[in-house]
Amino acid sequence: MPGDLSDGLLWYTVFLFSTVCHEAAHAWTAFKLGDDTAQQGGQVSLNPLPHIRREVVGMVVVPLLAWFTAGWMMGWASAPYNQAWARAYPRRAGLMALAGPAANLGLLLSAALLIRVGLEWRVFDVPFALSPMHITDAMQAGAFTWVAKALSVVFSLNLLLCVFNLLPIPPLDGSSVPLLLLPAHAAARYFDVMRSPVLRVIGLLLILRGLGGFFPDLLRWAGGLLYPHVPFN
């Protein structure tokens, strides 16, 4: 259906931009902290092409298949880094890991701010029920209908990317947070353990099993913060 295709295009555009911001933040932070691996690959950039070339399956094939089969957008990307650098400077590696979710948090807060401004200007309204494409609705049909839908997708997708990537499960970014706190020798050992292929496979299985269960509750919680006086069921 044309509506489905237009919604899919919107989701993919937001997914691509949000993912590129996430990976570019990793790459830029690593570059500033002494590792130019991603910079040499052109990933200190919001240009999606270097990121797509690195992960064609995760950034093109899987997201589009997920949309046309499940009506949802999912995928992955990555920024290369020097493992010897990360092991030698674990706190820098921890900051690099947090930079990606921080970029998604920035996009999430920007969307929330624009939604609140739209409410004050009476171009947006509180939706009857929250959903990923209806965090806010336009007061009247027209151009703001598309803007409301776009901001809703930016809000919901970056909420998921931010919180999801902070889970302390390898290979997600949250598994690197202890690098900021551990003594140098313990951090090096922790880094080696987290690189274990077995742990990463177990982590991926846990992620796939639990992803669908927590997002509706997370969305309602975020909606409660955005609209503190509106009860959502």
Reading the block at residue 175, the tokens are 């598994």
Q: Catalytic site residues?
A: 23
DSSP assignment, residue 131? B
Q: Whose CA is closest to 179, among 167, 201, 194?
A: 194
Q: At what angle do helices 90-120 and 197-226 cross, to 10 degrees?
A: 30
> Which residues, in sequence order, are CB contacts of 59 under 8 Å at separation 6+?
16, 19, 48, 51, 52, 75, 76, 77
Q: Whose CA is closest to 123, among 105, 137, 135?
A: 137
Q: Decide: residue 230, CB within 10 A, 0-12 exposed, 13-18 middle, 19+ buried.
A: exposed
Residue 109 belongs to what H/E stretch? helix 90-120
Nearest 10 degrees: Cα torsion 126, 129, 130, 135 = -30
Residue 125 belongs to what H/E stretch? strand 124-125
Q: Whose CA is closest to 25, among 10, 11, 38?
A: 38
Gyration radius of the chain over CA positions: 19
